[in-house]
Amino acid sequence: MAGKFELKKFSDIDIQDSFFDSLKFDYPADEKNIGFEAWFSKKGIEGAEALVFKDDDGLGAFICLKDENESIPLKEKILPINSRKKISTLFIAERYRRQRLGEGALGLALWEWQKSSQNEIYITVFEKHKLLIKQLEIFGFQLVGHNLNGECVYLKSRFDIDYSTPYKSFPFINPNFKKAGYLIVNDYYHDTLFPYSELSRTFQEQLSLSVSNGMSKIYIGNQFKLPHYQIGEPIFIYRKYTKKDGQKPKYKSCLTSFCIVSNVLQVKLNHKKLMSLEELLEKIGNKSVFDKEDLAAKYQNDKNLMIIEMLYYGYFGSGNNVNQAWLSENDLWSLPDVYPTEVHLRPDQFQKILQKGDIDVSNVIINSSKTC
């Protein structure tokens, strides 16, 4: 995907770009509303910023977030005053729809909401935008009513998290998980699949990577035995240092990130193909480090093949990655006769590692009325 995301001031964005035509059409000025163009101008005067994706063909995405603490009048009722993050604009160009920009942009907005500790996040959308509505519902947003413009109001509350799927609960972890684990990824694959580990967790540094790469990931391995991971369980991503440069791997290899497992599938077992190549390619899409030719070669040549689907929940960031030496010193790495990927981490051990990575556990693992 050519191009990149950047934070830009509204005053530096050309509102005459044809990208904004449909937004101008959907939000005209009338007796009730100032309209998109006047709103855009007002934001420019205020010095506001938006997250903008641009490539050689022009603008591809536009996302704007806003903090609120006020009531929201709906046709059906009034939502009381509350601390909220509003996704005031989330628009993807037609040429990038059904790709990963939307998923990544929504994931980034949810991360920002989580870090803000605000109670709710919401967005307004017209019913005709079916793809966006579907994405919102996948990520646990619920329709709570319609605003006075006739838009659907989709909202997500940290006090009402649906833990039925890793997507609906993102970015919060079900406090009732029973165990966690490790997934080992060689450095040369890790840095493409999980390019966040050296970031310092600032909004600006996440832009070009977090959004354009999306939140869903797929790992492809050639293990004979399926791992113990279950759907909904957390796993740590372990970056295995493979360079032969004289440095001790236990100090260079480290945990960088944590995910929630969304599926585990055996593709081949002892040369027996359990799904077709076409099914494999469709399942993986663009979520893997391998291109179609590499996948086809692995499918034909590997004796065993499995895929682990994950949703990317967070990363430790520069200076906070947890190395193997610390894990071993704290009896959190391999056990006697047990390979690290077979280790079952207790919830308290999982939380201990999060804390070592400078993660606020209370803002990641939260209780909710829908905890299952």
Q: Note if the pTM is more than 0.75.
A: yes
Beta bridge partners of 240: 186
Amino acid symbol at 97:
R
Check residue 57 and give its pLDDT: 81
Task: Look up residue 183 and give its two tokens.
Answer: 């997934």
The two counts, helices (H) then strands (E), for the chain are 13, 14
User: In 194-212, which positions are buried (b, 16+ CB within 10 angstroms) versus exposed (e)?
Assistant: bbbbebebeeeebbebbbb
- Tell me how far apart the alpha carbons of residues 240 and 323 are, in angstroms, rounded to a whole number: 10
- Mean pLDDT by runs of 10 across the 372 residues of the chain is 73 92 91 89 92 82 92 96 94 77 84 93 94 94 95 96 96 96 86 62 43 75 85 94 69 89 93 93 80 88 93 88 92 83 95 96 84 48
Check residue 255 and give its pLDDT: 94
Q: Rounded to 10 degrees, what is the CA torsion of 78, 80, 86, 89? A: 10
Largest CA distance in the chain: 73
Check residue 170 and give its pLDDT: 97
Q: Is the distance from CB of 53 to CB of 101 less than 8 angstroms? A: yes
Query: What domains appear along the chain, each with residue ranges and CATH number?
Result: 4-160 (3.40.630.30), 181-361 (no CATH)
Check residue 195 and give its pLDDT: 62
Task: Look up residue 124 and give its two tokens.
Answer: 């307004």
With CA atoms as reference, report the closest residue to 332 among 315, 313, 348: 348
Q: Which residues contact 131 (CB under 8 A, 6 or more apart)?
A: 97, 98, 102
Cis peptide before 171 (omega within 30 of 0): yes
